Amino acid sequence: MSTSIGAPDTTAAQAFETFMVPTIFGPWSRLVVDQIAPKPGEALLDVACGTGTAARYAAGLVAPGGSVAAIDIDPAMVAHGRTLQGAGAVDWRVGDAQSLPWGDATFDVVLCIQGYQFFPDRLEALGEMRRVMKPGGRLAVTVFCALPYCPGHEAIARALEKHKVDAAGIQRPYSFGDPVALGDTVQAAGFTEVAVIRRSVEARFPSPEDFVERLAAGGPSARRALEQLSPDELRQVEAEVRERLSVYIDDHGVRIITTANIAIARR
């Protein structure tokens, strides 16, 4: 894909939006936004927003009179997010979650959906989220549980390991799956009324092979690992994933379950 001089290449962001948002990240965003229940007139911030799935959905809930901002460290994700339906209602920023470009006590609600586990300093990032929240504001931080709670992704990780391919890209999103550690970190950052709940989302793919191919095309963490495979190795991995996921296959395709811990708290 060609880009203008200085513009980020949004190829990967477009693939993420096309292949992963409708099946996994879109449902998760709606679940978390509904859980925190933003109200008309409130100001909401989506941290590590990706293409802004949660931000664009929340914009319809805080209207009239509310506002939504979204920030991500990846300029390509933000650039593509700006082009999508509903993007005009969002204040888009490129920046670091550990140094948020807003003043103190700006937002009623702060979300971080499937991004917190990637932050180099998680406590500092939470401190920044707390700083920009109004007193009594609400926080929701969502982190995938460990791989065994997400069997589709675990099947791919195990198949990659069998082929001597570094599976870190698959495993990293599931690297902070301990609910006690998540709750303790949120509390250590100064939040109150901290609760951690566990939720699962079930997605349907036409086949295990389709699931692997969608991750290879649009999975932000999985793509680089799967790119290391030759075409023959990819077919072998797909066959191994099919075998591992046999209990999840029926006449409608394959069920892909992802499970996450959601930390809810107040400033």
pLDDT digits (tens, 9 = 90+) for 174-216: 999 999 999 999 999 999 999 999 999 999 999 999 999 999 9
Q: What is the pLDDT of residues 71-107, one digit of tens each?
A: 999 999 999 999 999 999 999 999 999 999 999 999 9
**Inside any domain, residue 144:** yes
User: Do residues 56 and 84 make contact, with C-beta atoms less than 8 angstroms apart?
Assistant: yes
Range of the domain at 41: 11-266
Mean pLDDT of 37-61: 97
Residue in the structure block whose two tokens are 């997400």: 150
**Inside any domain, residue 5:** no
What integer pLDDT is reported at residue 225 of this predicted model? 86
> Is residue 24 pLDDT above 60, yes or no?
yes
**Inside any domain, residue 1:** no
What integer pLDDT is reported at residue 69 of this predicted model? 98
Say what percent of the chain tops pLDDT 70.
98
Query: CA 190, CA 162: separation in Å to the nearest integer?
Result: 43
**What's phi and psi for 174, nearest 5 deg?**
-110, 20
Provide the domain count of the chain. Answer: 1
> Is residue 4 pLDDT above 60, yes or no?
no
Burial class (CB in 10 A: 0-12, 13-18, 19+), 157: buried
What integer pLDDT is reported at residue 8 of this predicted model? 87
CATH classification of the domain holding 31: 3.40.50.150
**Inside any domain, residue 58:** yes
- State the pLDDT confidence band at 5, using cuts at 50, 70 and 90: low
Q: Assign 227 to helix, strand or coil.
A: coil
Mean pLDDT of 46-60: 97
**Inside any domain, residue 96:** yes
**Inside any domain, residue 82:** yes
Average pLDDT of the chain, as a whole number: 94
> Is residue 1 pLDDT above 50, yes or no?
no
> Is residue 2 pLDDT above 50, yes or no?
no
> Is residue 36 pLDDT above 50, yes or no?
yes
Residue ranges in the chain assigned as alpha helix (H): 11-19, 26-36, 53-62, 75-81, 122-131, 151-162, 168-171, 179-188, 208-218, 222-226, 231-244
Pull the structure tokens for residue 32.
Answer: 């978390």
**Inside any domain, residue 3:** no
Mean pLDDT of 245-261: 97
Q: What is the pLDDT of residues 115-156, one digit of tens each?
A: 999 999 999 999 999 999 999 999 999 999 999 999 999 999
> Is residue 65 pLDDT above 60, yes or no?
yes
Please give the C-alpha separations between residue 152 and each of 7, 93, 98, 221, in angstroms, as whole numbers: 35, 33, 31, 14
What integer pLDDT is reported at residue 99 of this predicted model? 96
**Inside any domain, residue 22:** yes
- State the pLDDT confidence band at 227, using cuts at 50, 70 and 90: confident
